[in-house]
Amino acid sequence: MSLNPVHNVLPPIASGARRPSGFSPASGPKSKYAVSAPSLWTAFWREFCLENQPHERCPIPGDGRSAVDRHWVYFAEDLPLGAHVIDLGCGAGVVGRTLLSHRRDLKVTGVDFADVPALHMANLTIHPWVNMEALPFDDGCFDAAISLFGIEYSNIDQTARELTRVLKPGAAFSFLVHHHESEIVGEGGTRRRALRELLSGKVRAAFLAGGIPGIDQQIRRLKGEFPGDPSITHFSRYLRHKITDTRAQRQVTWQGMLDGLGPEIALLTHLQRSAKSAVEMGNWLASLLPIMKTVSVSVLRRRSGQPIAWQVNGNR
């Protein structure tokens, strides 16, 4: 196995996907990980779709996947014959495929603002580079709308207006939105804090100084703050291995870690910001309530009772 852990890190965002590659994060006074969201997610999906059958992989750990699949099956059962469904923030199309595995008569059109792999197959089409806030479809052309961890990344005011335009009156919708107490969000937050601390000024100073006692002290601190975190173990081993290089070589190594991990930190930041508490969900729903006929909210949970997602259902 390569000693460079930038190419052997654990899955970001509990998704099973590898680290996005091909970034050069910009630095500046606001954020040293400031990269545009479409660019971040484009690189994520390019890496994600290198895997065989990426649509079979779902960013939900444990028994949450089966609960989410059941949710979509129940939703599909009530759709009219031959219904045309729009999938917002579709990614690799996992939800559309789930619907079609249960109802072959449906037609699903997925959109994503990233450069996801375009797809044109029987009853399933995926359009990359499409903003939810400006859908390129005719008025009243969809019978239903769905989203799995997608719609909450958009400007909900603009997206809600677009939905009322493209959905037929009475059209059903169902959105699963990140819950701030879910395992996905919790693991993502822990990983984000660990990676940020790994790239902190204290670790950088110790590594560039080139002293083994100094970097060992920082490694012990990191392992104490994030016990059992595999990424800390991988990167600590890597820094320890490179500590005897020349200072110029160590500077190149450190920049490589910034370039490799900065985008993942930015993606995890997007995840944290998109997740909703009860209060935040109430504010988020304020954009849907005035323009939808019915809206109901509940929490989809694992068997243990832990939240998976907010479940937002209703009709146009």
Q: What is the pLDDT of residues 215-272, one digit of tens each?
A: 999 999 999 999 988 889 899 999 999 999 999 999 999 999 998 888 889 889 989 9
Tally Cβ neighbours within 10 Å of residue 273: 12
The reported pLDDT for the residue numbered 45 is: 67
pTM of the model: 0.82
- Strands 119-121 and 124-127: what pairing? antiparallel
Please give the average per-residue pLDDT across 178-207, as a whole number. Answer: 94
The reported pLDDT for the residue numbered 36 is: 62
Tally Cβ neighbours within 10 Å of residue 145: 23
CA distance 110 to 176: 15
φ and ψ of 124, to 5 deg: -140, 120
pLDDT at residue 98 is higher than 60: yes
Residue type, 193: R
Q: What is the largest CA-CA distance in the chain?
A: 69
The pLDDT tens digits of the residues spanning 46-76 come to: 665 544 454 444 567 778 888 999 999 999 9
The reported pLDDT for the residue numbered 10 is: 30
Beta bridge partners of 109: 86, 125
CA distance 76 to 85: 10
CA distance 146 to 150: 9
Q: Are 276 and 310 in contact (CB under 8 A)?
A: yes
- 5 three-state secondary structure: helix
State the Cα angle at 113 between 17 and 29, rounded to 5°: 80
> Minimum mean pLDDT among 41-45, 164-168, 300-304: which range?
41-45
Please give the average per-residue pLDDT across 6-35, as a whole number. Answer: 35
Structure tokens at 145: 């709308």
Q: Are 124 and 98 in contact (CB under 8 A)?
A: no
Whole-number CA gyration radius for the chain: 21
Residue type, 67: A
Mean pLDDT estimate for the chain: 84
Q: Which of the four pLDDT bands, split at 50, 70 and 90, describes residue 21?
A: very low
Residue type, 99: L
